[in-house]
Structure 1
Amino acid sequence: MSFPDPIAVFRTEAAELLEQIEAGLLDLNVNLGDKDQVDTVFRSLHTLKGSGAMFGFDALAAFTHHCETAFDRVRKGEVPATHDLVGAVLEAKDHMRLLVDTPTGDHEAASEALLASLRRAVDGAGVPEAPAGPSTTRYTIRFSLPQDAMANGTNPLGLLDEMRDLGDCRVVADRSAIPPLDQLNPVDLHLSWTVELTTSEPRSAIDDVFIFVMDDMQLEVTEVQGEPQTSAAPAEAEAVVAATDPAATTPKPAAKGPATVDAKAAKAAENVRVPAERLDELMDRVGELVIAQSRLSQLAGSSGDLQLRAVSEDVERLSGELRDTMMVLRMVPVTQLFSRFRRLVHDLANETGKVIELVTEGETTEVDKSVIERLADPMIHLVRNSCDHGLETAEQRLAAGKPAAGTISLSARQQGGEVIITIKDDGRGIDKDRVRAKAESSGLIAANASLSDQELYQLIFQPGFSTAQQVTNLSGRGVGMDVVKRTIDALRGTINVVSRPGQGSEISLAIPLTLAIIDGLLVRVGSGRYVIPLAAVEECLELSVEEDMRSRGRSFISLRDSLVPFIRLRDLFRTGTTPDPFQKVVVISTGSERVGLVVDQIIGDHQTVIKSMSKLHHDVGTFSGATILGDGNVALILDVGHLVSEGQQQEAQLRAAG
């Protein structure tokens, strides 16, 4: 049996803690008086420091300690939270990530610079520190932990060490609850403790020691009046009491204690951390199973054996359920993508001097994890472009009658087999005249060429295209939007751009929910078989030879009082075969655009395991992938977006000629 690498486990947990710290800081930056966010950031910093020290990340623990101390002072009211402090800790958080990834690197100079910035932010808060040399206070602390505390990773000796750090500390253990040896479970905890602590720290420092076990433990803290004791006699006397009278020192367990522990254990058991690579491997096995099931179904269909058919139907049902379950396992909420942009927008606002607000909608929409990973870079380009090109400065917005703060909106919604992700801003919009002038000067279009707004906007995704008048750190080199186009095309998605002068722009990305297995419509064209993604299919019509002949030269069909262009796949693929007597038209769509595909035969539904095209065929735009059929032959998967675009261009050419 293999066990996970503890360092890898720590790095995963550290990444989650760093995300919590960043989210808490960004929320706090909006409302500096939010005490809950201050506590959240403090707890995350405290956990990261402790875990880092436990796993040998000493540089991380030492650096994080200073940030934790700064937030501890905010939490105690010694200094107020400020934007400068939040900004300094955000920069420090980035350095913490570096200390996690490369703990052996030379980070001393960077650490000192960041800590100096942190000290300036704290010292500039305008509230004096607590007076030096406070009087000492004596406390009696009695505590007991749950029986399964050590099994769950809590080390009581660490708690005692933290209390020793607070001041003069005398500890007495109560051993009266230890069972006989033959009943003793070595992983169970049966001790409780009484601690006499004399400290100059405030009462809250004691609570901080138990901050992460407070919910499950029994804790009693009593302030002892009078001068601190200097002799050990009273403590020794109390030790005798603790050993002989456990009722005097150990609080009775609350009735809800065991239930609380059970609930927490059950909650922990609900989630299991699984490496993404294992999910990918399992997805590959499910894909192979789907292919094998397809072969079995084909064999059963050509056989007269009823038992074989019954088994084939059971396997088809089970493989379908397994496929659906596997797809759900790979789905993650789009909030994992959107949350990355809060920090980006915060930094861009500081860099550009603009006031920018980020609004998100539809964060619970789920997408395949591989899609989320590949969407991050193109969306960064789009958000940066909106902040730099789209939004105006506060002065320009006020002069135009707009609020001083510009808004970037990110939204997601599911539509059929696709998820639509929209990046919208309320800025100046896209200047069509400048886009056209740049395109003409670059030779992308002919002078005075007739283009629709959508065709004109699509030019901004050409390599090297930029209308920026000067190059900045954010944009102007024309190397961002073409990356967006290539990535979305690789995901078999489409991009739609809408812009209103003076009101803003909206870019919508239509992305398949999954890249692994899809439901497809298997068709035949000539002697070849092809798969059309079923999510894009609207309806199927029959096209007789006579209608085919009548439509030659115009390639339109009338569909409920609207003309829909169609493409003869037999001609496009140059099959060299004669058409079947009764051809079929499969109407497909992407958003509001539709086109018909003329095929010879519709074979039926097909569970399609997508295989990538080879590098030799990466530039073939008509196909987005391939799949293996039940008989072992290969069927190509049609690229719906490319075919719809080609059909619309054909329609425009025919209309212009007519």
Structure 2
Amino acid sequence: MNIDQLMHTFIAESRELLEQMESALLAAGHDGADAIDAIFRAAHTIKGSAGMFGLDPVVDFTHVAESVLDKVRAGALPFGDDLVSLLLACRDHIGALVDAVEAGTLDADAGLLAAGAPLLAALHGHLGGAPAAAAAPPATPSSAPAPAPANEHEQWHISLRFGPDVLRNGMDPLSFIRYLGQLGQVTGIATLADGLPEADEFDPESCYLGFEIGLSSSTDKATIDDVFDFVRDDCQIRILAPHSRAAEYIAWLDEVPEQRERLGEMLVRCGSVTAHELEQALAAQSAASSGGGEFVPIGAILVDQGAVRAPVVEAALAKQRQAPEPRPQQEARTVRVDADKLDRLINLVGELIIAGAGVDLVARRTDVPELLERTATLSGLVEEVRDSALQLRMVKIGATFKRFERVVHDVARELRKDIRLALSGEDAELDKTLVEKIGDPLTHLVRNAMDHGIESAELRAARGKPAQGTVALNAYHDSGSIVIEVADDGGGLNRARILAKAVERGLVEPGRALSDKEIFNLIFEPGFSTAEQVTSLSGRGVGMDVVKRNIVALRGSVDIASTEGAGTTVSVRLPLTLAIINGFQVGVGKSVFVIPMDVVEECIEFHAVPGRDYVDLRGRPLPFVRLRERFGIEGALARRQSIVVVRYGGRRAGLVVDALLGEFQTVIKPLGKVFAGARFLCGSSILGNGGVALILDVAALFAGVEHDNHDLISHRAASAARSIPCSAI
């Protein structure tokens, strides 16, 4: 056995179970018993797996948490907010223990083990006993709820045959038998030694024993079967139910609604057969059929194996015949692929696009019709491959949104505010690389909305608002981008306070007229804060500037809309992918620029009017920016210039260019360190002729246009004021 590989599997599965445990804890308020069962199963599985590896600190701690959950399941302990918070803290501690297992420091990290002591004390308080009274059971691979009163017990018969390698694989057969005592009372054991070889053939590392066990318990068959989960491959097990159980199974089959199921699935659902017994019966049926023997029904095999009684099988068959015929369903087929392999595929597709562009350029130069036709076909196929490859990396943002349920729960308790999280648009998809990088900025925005946005319950009541505040996360697609909104129904931004703070810090000249958007965007300046007190969450002016910087680094933008007294909405706009886009190439002098095709609306001829920084587009003014002036490109002006009309975030503007070169697939390459600080650019691309085209940052260009227009308006207003004669005042 490869222990390192098994340990890696244990760590990965434990982390998945801890995520499920956290989600179930946060949903326990409205999911009820189902959520509590899910929490218990997660803790139960982690404890059993840790016991298999001898990870006693994990087993001991998880056992106490499991005991508390068992009382909750039995209805003996109310499941309130305080207990949810305690169990969330326990979940975090178990996660820290698993991390220590991965690092190999579990036994050496005394501080980590000591950190669990207050949690254990709180758990024991819910159990109603001292810690010593709730000692953990032996480290075995499974656990189960406490047995019911003796008068409800029934007699089970368990037949065990351990395989010869069970000891070599680190398992103690007797520990499993002893553990059955936690499910009820072991009423009898018969040891079978008929498998013992002659003395000269005896191997002390092999197991030759079998056992016949009587168990008096009120548990079900699946729970007994779970005890042997981690030794299943090294043993043969038969569990014979009490006679009264057969009547219960038949009654269950009579009560359930008619639905078309396989016989084995029905028997597993009612509890008369375990999944393992069904697998063995199916394997026996398959072996008999492949050997040319007569087909034997699965029910007959299960009866012959002693897994179920014949009346139960007959009742299941009768129920099966009553069910309507099912509609044919298409089989779902999925394959898990390493993310690095996907990245490699995307890189190769990018190189294929660049090579295809070079071939297309050569074909157009040679002007051979047949070659042009072939290259056009090739370009279409490459585009389909590109779209399919990019789709493989697209993931739903819902998983990222779900993480904030815990953030809102913990921060709300810390702030002593009643705040709920509302989610929408979880099905919106974006590149997995963006999902990985957007988590931290969104976390800061959510925490900021809870701390600065949502008022106290008293203030909300005075303003006529519900006592419970709301933070909403929403995502949707717009113009080739994904927009993520973080909104709150709190007090909104105080325009006057922000402006006064900006003037005080020298960010704005006194008396300068600013729009609401410009004032609100001041909160993204480094070190800017209007908080009157410094808390553990905010007040130091650190964070919002980092949020904007991280979003801009992803070729995105961030905007704020706020109404004082009603709430604030922060909109983060990101590209759907960071790899390959459809781009519209334009020429300015000898330079080539790429505009993302998703923002391009139309192209029109440009007629310059001296002194005017806009054009009339069908009766509406369209502000524009000359790329030649923006990038300081020298050379003679083209005799005929054009305007590319672009739309971004609900706004429109024009880009004045010398030449329109058309639509091309664009492979995005990062800018070198020399150009890292260049404004209005977000990347580069290699052209078919080997040249380099610069990809325009449309969001930055829009901000530049608005800034220039506002400065121009302010300058004209100031000039007009200075030109008014004193006698006219």
Say whether residues 1:135 and 2:150 are aligned partners: yes
User: Is the 1:493–1:511 Cα contact (8 Å) retained in structure 2?
Assistant: yes
Larger radius of gyration: 2
Partner of 2:600: 537
Equivalent residue of 1:373, what SS? Answer: helix
Paired amino acid for 1:49: K
1:371-405 Cα offsets, whole Å, 9 max, x none, are 11111111111111111111111111111111111
Following TM superposition, by how much is the alpha carbon of 1:315 offset from its aligned partner in structure 2, in angstroms?
Answer: 2.8
Following TM superposition, by how much is the alpha carbon of 1:68 offset from its aligned partner in structure 2, in angstroms?
Answer: 2.0
Alignment CA distance shift 1:510-1:100 (3 Å) = same
Following TM superposition, by how much is the alpha carbon of 1:205 offset from its aligned partner in structure 2, in angstroms?
Answer: 8.8
Structure 1, 282-291 or 517-526: larger mean CA deviation: 282-291
1:464-519 Cα offsets, whole Å, 9 max, x none, are 00000010001001111001110111111111111111111111111111111111
Paired amino acid for 1:74: V
Q: Distance in 1 between matches of 2:634 and 2:225?
A: 80
User: Is the 2:488–2:568 Cα contact (8 Å) retained in structure 1?
Assistant: yes
Following TM superposition, by how much is the alpha carbon of 1:311 offset from its aligned partner in structure 2, in angstroms?
Answer: 3.8
Match of 2:533 among 470, 483, 488: 470
Partner of 1:180: none
Equivalences for 1:160-239 in 2 at 5 Å?
A: 163=180, 166=183, 167-168=185-186, 196-199=214-217, 202-203=218-219, 207=223, 209-210=225-226, 221-222=241-242
Alignment CA distance shift 1:423-1:488 (3 Å) = same
Q: Distance in 2 between matches of 1:352 and 1:119?
A: 28
Q: Distance in 1 between matches of 2:410 and 2:638?
A: 61
1:542-572 Cα offsets, whole Å, 9 max, x none, are 11xxx22x2x332211112221111111122
Q: 5+ unaligned residues in a row in structure 1: which ranges? A: 145-154, 175-191, 226-242, 258-262
Partner of 2:431: 368
User: Is the 1:554–1:654 Cα contact (8 Å) retained in structure 2?
Assistant: no
Say whether residues 1:625 and 2:683 are aligned partners: yes
Alignment CA distance shift 1:477-1:249 (3 Å) = closer
Q: Distance in 1 between matches of 2:172 and 2:596?
A: 59
Following TM superposition, by how much is the alpha carbon of 1:134 offset from its aligned partner in structure 2, in angstroms?
Answer: 5.1
Partner of 1:22: 22
Q: Distance in 1 between matches of 2:666 and 2:187?
A: 69
User: Is the 2:405–2:421 Cα contact (8 Å) retained in structure 1?
Assistant: yes
Partner of 1:592: 650
User: Is the 2:238–2:306 Cα contact (8 Å) retained in structure 1?
Assistant: no
Equivalent residue of 2:533, what SS? Answer: coil
Paired amino acid for 2:617: L
Identity of aligned residues (%): 39
Say whether residues 1:43 and 2:41 are aligned partners: yes
Say whether residues 1:570 and 2:628 are aligned partners: yes
User: Is the 1:140–1:223 Cα contact (8 Å) retained in structure 2?
Assistant: no
Equivalent residue of 1:582, what SS? Answer: coil
Say whether residues 1:328 and 2:348 are aligned partners: no
Q: Distance in 2 between matches of 1:298 and 1:336?
A: 43
Following TM superposition, by how much is the alpha carbon of 1:339 offset from its aligned partner in structure 2, in angstroms?
Answer: 0.8
Equivalent residue of 1:102, what SS? Answer: helix
Following TM superposition, by how much is the alpha carbon of 1:522 offset from its aligned partner in structure 2, in angstroms?
Answer: 0.8
Partner of 1:486: 549
Count residues with an aligned counterpart: 589
Paired amino acid for 2:560: V
1:75-110 Cα offsets, whole Å, 9 max, x none, are 122323222221111001111211222222412211
User: Is the 1:416–1:535 Cα contact (8 Å) retained in structure 2?
Assistant: yes
Match of 1:417 among 480, 500, 509: 480
Say whether residues 1:637 and 2:695 are aligned partners: yes
Q: Distance in 1 between matches of 2:715 and 2:159?
A: 88
1:327-366 Cα offsets, whole Å, 9 max, x none, are 1111111111111110011011110111001100011111
User: Is the 1:413–1:420 Cα contact (8 Å) retained in structure 2?
Assistant: yes
Equivalences for 1:197-596 in 2 at 5 Å?
A: 197-199=215-217, 202-203=218-219, 207=223, 209-210=225-226, 221-222=241-242, 246=304, 250-251=308-309, 270-543=333-606, 547-548=607-608, 550=609, 552-596=610-654
Say whether residues 1:108 and 2:113 are aligned partners: yes
Alignment CA distance shift 1:381-1:68 (3 Å) = same
Q: Distance in 2 between matches of 1:538 and 1:528?
A: 22
State the TM-score, normalized to the length of structure 2. Answer: 0.74
Match of 1:118 among 101, 123, 146: 123
Following TM superposition, by how much is the alpha carbon of 1:198 offset from its aligned partner in structure 2, in angstroms?
Answer: 2.9
Following TM superposition, by how much is the alpha carbon of 1:247 offset from its aligned partner in structure 2, in angstroms?
Answer: 6.6
Equivalent residue of 1:446, what SS? Answer: coil
Q: Distance in 1 between matches of 2:211 and 2:583?
A: 67
Alignment CA distance shift 1:301-1:10 (3 Å) = farther
Partner of 2:12: 12
Following TM superposition, by how much is the alpha carbon of 1:575 offset from its aligned partner in structure 2, in angstroms?
Answer: 2.1
Equivalent residue of 1:445, what SS? Answer: coil
Partner of 2:268: none
Alignment CA distance shift 1:577-1:159 (3 Å) = farther
Following TM superposition, by how much is the alpha carbon of 1:616 offset from its aligned partner in structure 2, in angstroms?
Answer: 2.4
State the TM-score, normalized to the length of structure 1. Answer: 0.82
User: Is the 1:588–1:644 Cα contact (8 Å) retained in structure 2?
Assistant: no
Structure 1, 44-53 or 443-452: larger mean CA deviation: 44-53
User: Is the 2:146–2:182 Cα contact (8 Å) retained in structure 1?
Assistant: no
User: Is the 2:359–2:375 Cα contact (8 Å) retained in structure 1?
Assistant: yes
Alignment CA distance shift 1:387-1:123 (3 Å) = farther
Match of 2:659 among 601, 622, 647: 601
Following TM superposition, by how much is the alpha carbon of 1:537 offset from its aligned partner in structure 2, in angstroms?
Answer: 1.3
Paired amino acid for 1:496: D
User: Is the 1:411–1:422 Cα contact (8 Å) retained in structure 2?
Assistant: yes
Q: Distance in 2 between matches of 1:310 and 1:58?
A: 70
Quote the RMSD (CA, aligned, Å). Answer: 3.6
Q: 5+ unaligned residues in a row in structure 2: which ranges? A: 135-144, 161-170, 193-209, 230-236, 246-300, 321-325, 717-729
Alignment CA distance shift 1:219-1:529 (3 Å) = farther
Paired amino acid for 2:186: D
Q: Distance in 2 between matches of 1:535 and 1:557?
A: 22
Q: Distance in 2 between matches of 1:416 and 1:162?
A: 62
Partner of 1:238: none
Partner of 2:298: none
Equivalent residue of 1:472, what SS? Answer: coil
Alignment CA distance shift 1:131-1:75 (3 Å) = closer
User: Is the 1:526–1:577 Cα contact (8 Å) retained in structure 2?
Assistant: yes
Q: Distance in 1 between matches of 2:98 and 2:682?
A: 39
